[in-house]
Amino acid sequence: MSTDPAGAGAGPRLPAAPPPPPAAPGPGAASGPEAAARPAATGPRRDSATDTHCPYCALQCGMSLLPDPSAPGGLDVRERAAFPVNRGALCGKGRTAPAVLAPGARLTEPLVRREPGGALEPAGWEEALDLVAAGLGRARERHGRDAVAVFGGGGLTNEKAYALGKFARLVLGTSQIDYNGRFCMSSAAAAGTRAFGVDRGLPFPLADIPRTGCVILVGANPAETMPPALRYFTELRERGGRLIVVDPRRTRTAEQADLHLAPRPGTDLALALGLLHLVVAEGRTDEEFIAERTTGWEAARAAAMAHWPEYVERVTGVPVPQLRAAVRMFCEPESGMVLTARGPEQQSKGTDTVGAWINLCLATGRAGRPHSGYGCLTGQGNGQGGREHGQKADQLPGYRLLTDPAARAHVAAVWGVDPQELPGPGRSAYELLDALGRDTPDGIRALLLMGSNPVVSAPRAAHVAERAAALDFLAVCDVVLSETARLADVVLPVTQWAEETGTLTNLEGRVLLRRRAVAPPPGCRGDLEILHALAARLGWEKGFPADPEEVFEELRRASAGGRADYSGITYRRIAEEDGVFWPCPQPADPADPPHPGTPRLFLDRFATPDGRARFAEVTHRPAAEEPNEEYPLLLTTGRVLAQYQSGAQTRRVAELNAAAPGPFVQLHPRLAERIGAAEGDRLAVISRRGRAVAPARISRDIRADTVFMPFHWPGEGRANTVTNPALDPVSRMPEFKVCAVRVEPAEPD
C-alpha cells in the first residue's frame, strides 16, 4: 500500500512490468502530421520507464513515460507496442499529453474568492478546504441536503468516481449527483441495458472488429476522435470485410468506407428502421436465432414495416439504392457488427435510435455470436467505469440501481450504514445544472464540481454559465483554470494522470492500471485526499481513505454480485495481465482458480432474467426542433483531431493549438453562395438559445441543409451556446447533434 498522504504517492506495490518486445506499429490511423496516429518516439528503454495509459479518450492507449527534464512536463512519451489496444500507436494528443503537466499550463496552488465579485487569489490548503467544507455545510443546513450537489467527470478514475458517489450520498446526504458522462453514451447504455440486460461499451475486444464480415459505423468518426482505433477498420477491409459509415458529413472516417450514407441529422432512427424493413422484405432475417434467443420480434417487425424505403428516403435523404446496397453488404457475410457513437445517441430520441440499430443486429442474428454484435464507441477516458460505480444519479457501485432494495442493502453493508440512510435517485446532468442557484424549494445552492467544464461542454451553455454564477457557493477541483473554474469561490488544484495511480475501464470493459510516473508539484493534491479532508471536516473521520488501492479494495466488495462485478480484479492482476475484462467475480471458494474475466459477453446467453435479448418496439419521430422559415438549417456538432472535449487541457498545448487554433463553421458551397459567404468569412450561427460566431470553412463534405461546428472552444465561437437541451425521456441525454439554426454573415472582427 502507498503511504503517500496525498493519495497519489509511490502507489501500490506492483510487479515490475516487463519491457515490451519490439513490434511493428501497424498502419497509421489519420492523415496530417499534427496529430496522426503513429508510434511514439522509440529508443533504448531505461529502468526508470513507467508503463501507463494516455489521459484522453476511452481507448486508454498504452504508453511508456521516461523522465526527461528537457521535455514539456518533464516526461518523454515512448512507444509501448506490447499493449494490445493501440500496439504502440498514439495520436497527437497522447504524444503531447505531458505538456499539461508543466507549471505554466496548470494550477499549482489553491485559489479563493474572499469577497463577492472579487478576484480569485492564492490561498493555503487549510484555508481553502475550510472554505469548501463551510460552503457545502452552510447550504445544507439552511436549505436541506438536496440543496447541495456534486458534479463529476468521465475522466475520473474508478476510485475517484466511487469515492465521489459515496461522499455525496453519505457525507452530504444528497441525491443530487451526476456527471458529464451523461452527455457521452447514456442513450447507448439505456438501449443496451434494455436489449441485453447489461451495458458495456463493446461486448467484445477491439481485436474482433477485423474478423467480422461487415461493420456499420453510425455517427462515429474515430479517425479524428480516437485515431489509433482506425487501424482495426483498415484491417477489416484488408481481410475482405466491408465498412459502412453513417454520417451527415464526409469525415476522414467516411473517406475509408465502402459505402457512406449521409442522412439528414436527426433521422438515424428512420434509417435503421428502413434497413430493417428491407431485411424483412428481402427474406434476410435469421428466424432460428430470433426464435431461440430473443423476445418481442413481432411488435418490432410491425413497427419497422411501416418504414418503407421510399418514405425513409424522403425523411433521411438517403437514396433507396443506397439503402438496398447497405442491407446487401451487411447481410451477405456470416457475421457483422453495428457500432454507434455520439451521432445517434445525442438526440432526444437517442435510446430508441440505438434500440433500432440493435434490432437490426438481432433480426439478422448478428449478436451473441463470435465476431458479431452491437457496440458503442465510448468517448471519455473513463466513460465506462465512471458510470459503473456511483457518480451517476441513479446508480450505486457495480452498476446497481438505487431503486433496488437488494442493491441498497448490499452497498450500505459495505459502507457500514443503514440502507434507509441512502438517498434515492437525483436529477440527470442537465437538469442538475439547470437547477443551480435557483431560489426555489428544490433549487441547488452549493456545488462541488470535480473534473468537468460544463460552461463549455453543456448544451445551452450560456444559460448554464448564468446558473453557475447564481450559486451561493461553487467549489471546483481541476487541473487547470477552466472556464467553469473561473466562476468558482474556491478552486482546488489536483494531481494529474501521470502523477497518481488508479484504475480506469476502457471502451472494451478492460480494467486498466494507470501508474504514477512523476511527483506532482508541492501545491497540488489528489482528489482522493481532498475528499478525505472534506469528509473529516464534515464529520466523517473514517471511510474515505486517500490511498487508491485501498479505495479499490472497497470498490471490489461493493461491486461484488453486481452487473459490473470487479470483485475478482486486483491491482497486481491488472498489471500482470494488461487489464482484466469485467464481469470478473471472485470465486466463492478461495481454493478455486481465479475467474478469467469476460472479454466477450452474450455468447451463451444475454444478461436478462430469461437469457433472451429484447427487441425494442420503436418508430421514427422528428427531432425536438425542426427547421422552419426563421431557422431553416440544421446544426450538428462534434470534435476535431487535435482537440479534446471542452479543450480545457488540449488548448494549453502549443502543438495542438497550431493544428486546430479555433472554431469554425463548416458549410456546403451552395449554402455559402446563397448567404454570400466566402472561405474564412465570419459567420453567425443563431438558434433560439443564442449565437455563435466563427470563420467559414466551405466544403462539399457536408449536406447543403446542414452546418457543423466543433465544440472545444469558449467565447463567441462556443458551439454549445446554440445547442438544444431537449432530453431523451429515458437516458436524459441532451440533443447536442441536431437543432434548428440560421446562418448569416457576422460583423468583421
- Ordered by start, the domain boundaries in the chain are 111-183+382-501+520-549, 186-376, 633-745
Between CA 170 and CA 182 the distance in angstroms is: 22
Structural contact between residues 77 and 94, judged by C-beta atoms closer than 8 angstroms: yes
Write down the pLDDT at residue 20.
32
- Smallest CA-to-CA distance from 545 within 162, 154, 124, 172 is with 162
- Give phi and psi for 450, each to the nearest 5: -135, 110
Between CA 331 and CA 337 the distance in angstroms is: 10
22 by Cβ neighbours in 10 Å (0-12 / 13-18 / 19+) ranks as exposed
- Smallest CA-to-CA distance from 31 within 262, 251, 342 is with 251
Between CA 321 and CA 262 the distance in angstroms is: 13
**Which residues in 646-658 are b (16+ Cβ under 10 Å) and which e?**
bbbbbbbbebbbe
CB-facing half-sphere around the CA of 366: CA atoms within 13 A: 31
AA identity, residue 493: P
Between CA 207 and CA 138 the distance in angstroms is: 52
Between CA 743 and CA 634 the distance in angstroms is: 10
Question: Looking at 275-289, 585-599, 697-711, which range is the least confident one?
Answer: 585-599
Look up residue 538 and give its three cell numbers: 464534515
pLDDT band at 29 (very low <50, low <70, confident <90, very high): very low
| pLDDT one-digit tens code per residue, 173-217 | 999 999 999 998 899 999 999 999 999 999 999 999 999 999 999
Residue listed under C-alpha cell 481532498: 530
Residues in the chain: 749
Between CA 22 and CA 714 the distance in angstroms is: 43
DSSP for 451-514, please give it: S--HHHHSSSHHHHHHHHHT-SEEEEEESS--TTGGG-SEEEEB--GGGS-EEEE-TTSEEEEE
* For residues 509-522, average pLDDT: 96
The answer regarding whether domain 633-745 maps to CATH 2.60.40.1730 reads no
- Smallest CA-to-CA distance from 65 within 48, 81, 89, 85 is with 48
Domain 111-183+382-501+520-549, what architecture?
A: 3-Layer(aba) Sandwich (3.40)
Handedness of CA 356, 360, 361, 362 (dihedral sign): positive
Asked whether the predicted pLDDT for residue 41 surpasses 70, the reply is no
**CA-to-CA dists, residue 681 to 586, 664, 675, angstroms:** 61, 10, 11
Between CA 237 and CA 138 the distance in angstroms is: 60
Look up residue 610 and give its three cell numbers: 430469461
Asked whether the predicted pLDDT for residue 9 surpasses 80, the reply is no
Mean pLDDT of the chain: 93
**Strand, helix or coil for residue 65:** strand
Element holding 693 (H helix, E strand):
strand 691-698
Domain 186-376, what architecture?
A: 3-Layer(aba) Sandwich (3.40)
Angle between helices 125-143 and 527-537 (to 10 degrees): 60
DSSP 107: -
Residue listed under C-alpha cell 439478422: 364
**Strand, helix or coil for residue 178:** strand
- Smallest CA-to-CA distance from 462 within 274, 696, 716 is with 716
Asked whether the predicted pLDDT for residue 284 surpasses 60, the reply is yes
Between CA 208 and CA 232 the distance in angstroms is: 9
AA identity, residue 212: T
Between CA 398 and CA 407 the distance in angstroms is: 9
**CA-to-CA dists, residue 746 to 85, 481, 537, 682, angstroms:** 45, 30, 52, 5
**Strand, helix or coil for residue 287:** helix
474 by Cβ neighbours in 10 Å (0-12 / 13-18 / 19+) ranks as buried
Between CA 168 and CA 175 the distance in angstroms is: 7
| pLDDT one-digit tens code per residue, 384-431 | 998 899 999 999 999 999 999 999 999 999 999 999 999 999 999 999
| pLDDT one-digit tens code per residue, 58-85 | 999 999 999 999 998 999 999 899 999 9
Q: pTM of the predicted model, to two decimals?
A: 0.92
Write down the pLDDT at residue 134.
98
| pLDDT one-digit tens code per residue, 241-260 | 999 999 999 999 999 999 99
Write down the pLDDT at residue 19.
32
Between CA 726 and CA 492 the distance in angstroms is: 32
Asked whether the predicted pLDDT for residue 44 surpasses 60, the reply is no
Look up residue 158 and give its three cell numbers: 474508478
DSSP 426: -
Asked whether the predicted pLDDT for residue 4 surpasses 70, the reply is no
Tally Cβ neighbours within 10 Å of residue 144: 14
**Portion of the chain with pLDDT greater than 90, in percent:** 90
| pLDDT one-digit tens code per residue, 546-595 | 999 999 999 999 999 999 999 999 999 999 998 999 999 999 898 999 99
Element holding 78 (H helix, E strand):
strand 75-78
15 by Cβ neighbours in 10 Å (0-12 / 13-18 / 19+) ranks as exposed
* For residues 316-328, average pLDDT: 98
pLDDT band at 34 (very low <50, low <70, confident <90, very high): very low
Residues contacting residue 509 through CB under 8 Å, at least 6 positions apart: 200, 201, 202, 203, 384, 581, 582, 598, 601
* For residues 627-639, average pLDDT: 97
| pLDDT one-digit tens code per residue, 593-625 | 999 999 999 999 999 999 999 999 999 999 999
Structural contact between residues 528 and 163, judged by C-beta atoms closer than 8 angstroms: yes
DSSP for 659-674, please give it: HS-S--EEE-HHHHHH
Asked whether the predicted pLDDT for residue 35 surpasses 60, the reply is no
Q: How far is CA 495 from the centre of its chain?
A: 21
**Strand, helix or coil for residue 629:** coil
Write down the pLDDT at residue 39.
54
Write down the pLDDT at residue 631.
98
